[in-house]
A = this chain, B = another copy of it.
C-alpha cells in the first residue's frame, strides 16, 4: 500500500480538486438529481473511473463539493465576538453578502439550496446540516428562541435566491451597502429582540 502511495503521481491532489470544482459547477447548474458522475467527469475532462476512485457515491462527492465558504464556527465567532452586539445583524448580512459575491463561493451554496428545494434526500441533508451546525448554535449562544433565528435565516435565504436565482431587479444589482441598510435591522431584531 505504501508503495502505491509513494508511486502516486505528483498532481493527484490537484486532480481531486479539479473534480470537486467541476462537481460544484455541475451541481449548481443541474441540482443534485440531474447531475451525474459521468457529467462531472466530462466537465473535469477526466475518466469517470477516476471520479469513482476519489468518490464512491454522488452523495459523497456532493458533500465534499458543497464545501461552504462560510464555516459555521467562524460564523459563530464573528457573530458573538466580532464586534458590538447591537451590530450583530450588520455583521451577519455583510458576511453572507461577501460569501455569495463571487460565483466561485456562491455556486456550492446555490447548488445546495436548489437541491434541497427539489429532492427530499437533499432537503434532509441540508436540514440536518443547517439546523445542527448553525441555527441551533446561534439560537443557544444568543439565548434567543430558535424560531427567531429561522426567521432571520428565511430572510437571508430569500434574498440570496431572489438576487442570484430569480434575479429580481433591483435586488440583483443592489450594492452591499444598500442591502445592509435594508436587511441588517431585520436580522438585528430577530437576533436580539
Contacts and interface: CB of A to CB of B under 8 A. Distances in A.
A78 interface: no
Given A123-B165, A127-B166, A168-B131, A158 B147 contact: no
B118 A118 contact: yes
A117 B161 contact: yes
A72 interface: no
Interface residues of A, number: 44
Interface stretch (A41-49, A59-67, A170-178): A170-178
Nearest to A162: B154
A156 interface: yes
Interface string A145-175: 1111011011111110110011111110010
A33 B159 CA distance: 24
A123 B172 CA distance: 14
A142 interface: no
A186 interface: yes
Interface of A: 31, 33-34, 113-114, 116-118, 123, 126-127, 130-131, 135, 145-148, 150-151, 153-159, 161-162, 165-171, 174, 178, 182-183, 185-186, 189-190
